[in-house]
Structure 1
Amino acid sequence: MRYLGLELGSTRIKSCAINSEGEIVATGVHEWENQLVNGHWSYSLEQIWEGVQHSYSDLCRNLGEYPETWAAIGLSAMMHGYLAFNRDGVLLTPFRTWRDTTTGSAARKLSQLFGVNVPLRWSIAHHYQAILDQENHVRNLDFLTTLAGYVHWQLTGSKVLGIGDAVGMFPIDSDSLDYDSQKLNQYQNLTGIDMRKHLPRVLVAGEEAGTLSREGAKLLDPTGHLQPGIPLCPPEGDAGTGMVATNSINPRTGNVSVGTSIFAMVVLEKSLTSSHPELDPVATPDGHPVAMVHCNNGTNELNAWMGVFAEAVNLVSGKPKVSTDTLYSVLFQETLKADTDGGGLTTCNYLSGEPIVRLSKGHPLIIREVDSRLNLGNFLRSQVFTVFATLALGMKILHEEGVKIDSLAAHGGFFRTAEVGQRLLAAALDTPISIAESAGEGGAWGAALLARSLHTEGSLSEYLATEIFNQEKQNVSQPRQEDKEGFEDFLARFVAALEIQPEIIRAMSDTTATGNM
């Protein structure tokens, strides 16, 4: 029996086929990128389905066949955001992604109203901001969902969502494992809108969430080989599948995902004593409370510089294009030869706004003082440090709250290069970082594991511990004192440099407005 997992990430749509033991038998991938549409970061519906189909067909080519069926299918996607449809299923406004920072007024108001932090990217923040902005489409809303919920709906006809993604649409009651009824009433009193009528039904891991329809089979596999009737598990956000893929669903465990965005998830023993705007209340796919530190800006700036280096290498060598994996593998090793603080270089990777530090916009920065030591290793080490810097600021709050963390598991393609990312992340968070052999597969594998859980007995935790991770090899990196001290020096410069960002935003806005150079 084979199971299919599909995850729509920020830069890649990845599909993953596993056997009954959870072993990966084939993968497929499609590269894509968001666009800024009328001030909102977005992907078109056409892009979504083109990417899903290409990723699936790539998997089938690598598998050597186009299957007629799967034992079960799991879906995952970048969390939250805003996909609003009318009663005819027509999209009312272009998809607004997690990356949007346009919902500040709504998020502040709802955080005060609910008494819990409502992040900018939450669906309800998008909805209320649209009301505040008097957008006409709001009056025609019939169904509001996330990207994972949308793809699942189109494949099955079922308007449902896994609890780990649903908590990013509207606050969840951890006892009832459903939307918080008191807060729904508060929102209705505020807006006159009963969101119960517009949100997907909440499900937890292990529950069936519908079956693949005939139309859905054609959407996923236009060749016509795939047949309807396949069961699907509840669709989840990439945070939820990341927790599954790293077996980080028990209290005092957590995981870090590094990609276009970067976030850490820590499963709590008990609720936090107070609300923090830097921490998002989330949930595991089976409903346990989680504190999340989510940063909009991850590896985008580093990836851009790697692209520049690739151009230079290819131009000089005149040889076929160097692969991205090769470039990262070779250049990342230079960071271990660098000065521990990055040679006094200060970099900031803010391509977009960053809610944790209360910036609605951002500009990448490279600051070099007279006595800074500019070389390749120091430059790259500072670029890796800046990927982790904002996350470290958020994690400090968890430590101040007394949250105990036994281990953090890292995952994502960023960690394919041995040692470097893992070692520097351990220094940045002052926490042991483990990486499993399967870490590079990430959420698509996690989605496939959730699909596999439909055919198991017992809890999700028991299934993962006894059937999937019972023989998994872990590589653990302990924080090194010299790396910790170097990162703290870098972080102090990074925080100081944040004061420059508002002035750059103002200056560049003035330049754009006047047309002056």
Structure 2
Amino acid sequence: MYDKDLFLEKVKENNIYLGIELGSTRIKAIAIDNRAKIISNGIYEWKSKFENGYWTYDFDLLTKGLQSSFKNLKENIFKEYGYKISNFKAIGISAMMHGLLAFDKNMNLLTPFRTWRNTNTDKASLFLSELYEYNIPHRWSFAHFYEAILNKENFVKDVDYICTLSSYIHYLLTGKKVVGIGDASGIFPVDDSLNYNKDFLKKTNDLDEIKNLGIKLQDILPKVMVAGECAGKLTEKGAKLLDIDGDLKASINFCPPEGDAGTGMIATNTIRENTGNISIGTSIFSMIVLDHQLEKYYKEIDLVTTPDGKPVAMVHCNNGTADFDGWLNIFKEFALDLKIDFSEKGGIYSYLFNKALEAVDDECGFTIFNYLSGEPINKVLDGLPMIIRDKSNTPSLSKFILANLYSIMASIRIGQDILTEKENIQIKQMYAHGGVFKTKKVMQKIVASALNTNVSIYKSASEGGCWGMACLAMYMDKKDDYKSLDDFLEKFLFANQSKYTELADDKIIKSFDKFLNDYKKYLPIQRFADDNRI
């Protein structure tokens, strides 16, 4: 627990920063001091739903979740320190990237929020990628919007503004229609001008479908900003929206809102050239900061940026741990029904994760596709969870758990191979974050072996992007003291941070490669099921 007297000192100095992140399964608010030490946090659980052909969230939960996470933070601070917090030095908002929020001129939502999990934008993605000769993934905001135009959806004629979730929440609190460059790069391509690509904008605006709407694309997108800039102040209306108790003061500075990929790069200290990180949650993605542009474009590789605008090669897969979480809940339910106590084994999750390593010396016998949603990187647009079992292999719990963990890594490895084999990008070290790493060593060792590289985890990684967003708010305040964002991370945030590293294991490499070969062999079955589902 943070020291109470030190907390009161930070309050008096106004040296507390707030980060809020709207993730796929929870909304989290975190307060840190001016040394990036965590004071307290607040959490609100939520989840997406599949409705009318789209992955979405109840729109009223955006406000409720925002307010509830902040209220939970306030309550925790009062419980721990006996103080009702009402002010912060700076605030930052982060959220899951991509997807589509479309509004009319009065900022009324025109169609339910379409999240990054939606892959029903194939026509737009293919056409725009060929038009620009630049990969436009299915989940990007403009791909969603252009697909709606091609489908002649009624709402498109009234669109005055499209944005991501982080930029919308930022607008609610500040009144500013802006977005951080990392999140912007998942709306529409950006370039080294630190803005939307002008050549691509011109090609877009010359399309008949855009002309017929009477718009210029750049006029309906949020303004691009970079880390360190001030992106507005908390309005009186925004303060009342965030803090339903009415204690929060207005006029607090905001940094540019960012996507969860950008805040993950901050939390893992990977914004320098030739550094990389991997994030595993509902989705899974790896990020490699480039020191040069790729030789060609690949449909499997996104080109996005760091929060300060450096080019990044991103391998994004829609399906991370969500399907496996369902299986874990079944095992947990079974254990609870039998009143089995796993406390001596570190809890049931720790038991199951460690159980997986017992099967490394054997063949898994299972090939698992964890596709709760589509996986465009493997040419699967909708997806269907699927388990294939080798009938000649004796099944076991350890083999089943290991196959599930391998399944999480299979698609990301397929994309990563493009960078290593076709672009000769050598990945010597990766930094990881995500809840799946809470069981020490197991998933870290599997990731290292699947990617054949060293994988390190910083102590701060467990707090993830929310902590990273609070640190970006702090960087805006301290920018003049450092040469760059890299400098701020190296000399300040991570100067004394501990980390632990796992190396690739030869036995797991061999075991995973066998799983991956079977995975690739059976992909046509997954594609057939995807194309022919009843």
In the superposition, the TM-score normalised over structure 1's length comes to 0.96
- Residue aligning to 1:269: 291
Displacement of 1:121: 0.7
Displacement of 1:506: 4.4
Q: Which amino acid aligns with 1:126?
A: H
- Residue aligning to 1:393: 414
2:159 matches 1:141: yes
Superposition pairs of residues 13-412 of structure 1, within 5 angstroms: 13-64=27-78, 65-174=83-192, 176-190=193-207, 191-192=210-211, 193-317=215-339, 326-340=347-361, 343-400=364-421, 401-412=423-434
Displacement of 1:406: 3.3
Aligned with 1:173: secondary structure?
coil
- Residue aligning to 1:469: 494
Aligned length, in residue pairs: 507
Structure 1 unpaired stretches of 5+:
510-517
Distance 2:57 2:413 in 1: 30
Distance 2:280 2:134 in 1: 26
Q: Which moved more, 1:161-170 or 1:326-335?
A: 326-335
Structure 2 unpaired stretches of 5+:
1-14
1:219–1:341: structure 2 CA closer, same or farther, 3 Å change rule?
Answer: farther
Aligned with 2:353: secondary structure?
helix
2:485 matches 1:460: yes
Distance 2:225 2:92 in 1: 13
Displacement of 1:341: 5.7
- Residues 315-366 of structure 1: CA deviation (Å, up to 9, x unaligned): 11188x99x9832112111012223465222111011110101111111111
Displacement of 1:220: 1.1
Q: Which amino acid aligns with 2:26?
A: R
Q: Which amino acid aligns with 1:179?
A: Y
Aligned with 2:142: secondary structure?
helix
Q: Which amino acid aligns with 1:213?
A: T
- Residue aligning to 2:8: none
Aligned with 2:328: secondary structure?
helix
Displacement of 1:467: 0.8
- Residues 198-229 of structure 1: CA deviation (Å, up to 9, x unaligned): 00000000000001111111111101111111
1:472–1:353: structure 2 CA closer, same or farther, 3 Å change rule?
Answer: same
Distance 2:424 2:53 in 1: 39
Does the CA contact (< 8 Å) of 1:164 and 1:237 recur in 2? yes
1:429–1:340: structure 2 CA closer, same or farther, 3 Å change rule?
Answer: farther
Distance 1:312 1:286 in 2: 48
Distance 1:51 1:340 in 2: 45
- Residues 379-417 of structure 1: CA deviation (Å, up to 9, x unaligned): 111100000100000000010111132321000111111
Distance 2:348 2:41 in 1: 22
1:138–1:507: structure 2 CA closer, same or farther, 3 Å change rule?
Answer: closer
1:506–1:110: structure 2 CA closer, same or farther, 3 Å change rule?
Answer: closer
Displacement of 1:270: 0.2
Distance 1:256 1:139 in 2: 39
Q: Which amino acid aligns with 1:334?
A: K
Q: Which amino acid aligns with 2:278?
A: V
Q: Which amino acid aligns with 2:368?
A: T
Does the CA contact (< 8 Å) of 1:413 and 1:441 recur in 2? no
Aligned with 1:434: secondary structure?
strand
Does the CA contact (< 8 Å) of 1:82 and 1:97 recur in 2? yes
Aligned with 1:29: secondary structure?
strand
Does the CA contact (< 8 Å) of 1:341 and 1:487 recur in 2? no
1:282–1:371: structure 2 CA closer, same or farther, 3 Å change rule?
Answer: same
Q: Which amino acid aligns with 1:231?
A: N
Distance 1:358 1:343 in 2: 25
Aligned with 2:533: secondary structure?
helix
Displacement of 1:498: 1.2
Q: Which moved more, 1:26-35 or 1:103-112?
A: 26-35
Does the CA contact (< 8 Å) of 2:99 and 2:141 recur in 1? yes
Q: Which amino acid aligns with 1:83?
A: L
- Residues 157-216 of structure 1: CA deviation (Å, up to 9, x unaligned): 000000000011111021x10011111110000121311110000000000000111111
Aligned with 1:58: secondary structure?
helix
Distance 1:350 1:178 in 2: 34
Distance 1:116 1:507 in 2: 30
In the superposition, the TM-score normalised over structure 2's length comes to 0.93
Does the CA contact (< 8 Å) of 1:78 and 1:148 recur in 2? yes
1:340–1:233: structure 2 CA closer, same or farther, 3 Å change rule?
Answer: farther
Aligned-pair identity (%) = 44
CA RMSD of aligned residues (A): 1.6
Distance 2:42 2:256 in 1: 21
Displacement of 1:373: 3.0
Distance 1:99 1:69 in 2: 36
Distance 1:488 1:92 in 2: 46
- Residues 16-65 of structure 1: CA deviation (Å, up to 9, x unaligned): 11110011111221111111222111112211111111111222222224
Displacement of 1:508: 3.2
- Residue aligning to 1:445: 467
Distance 2:26 2:250 in 1: 26
2:506 matches 1:491: no
Does the CA contact (< 8 Å) of 2:380 and 2:530 recur in 1? no
Distance 2:62 2:419 in 1: 36
Distance 1:15 1:326 in 2: 27
Distance 2:361 2:224 in 1: 47
Does the CA contact (< 8 Å) of 2:181 and 2:258 recur in 1? yes
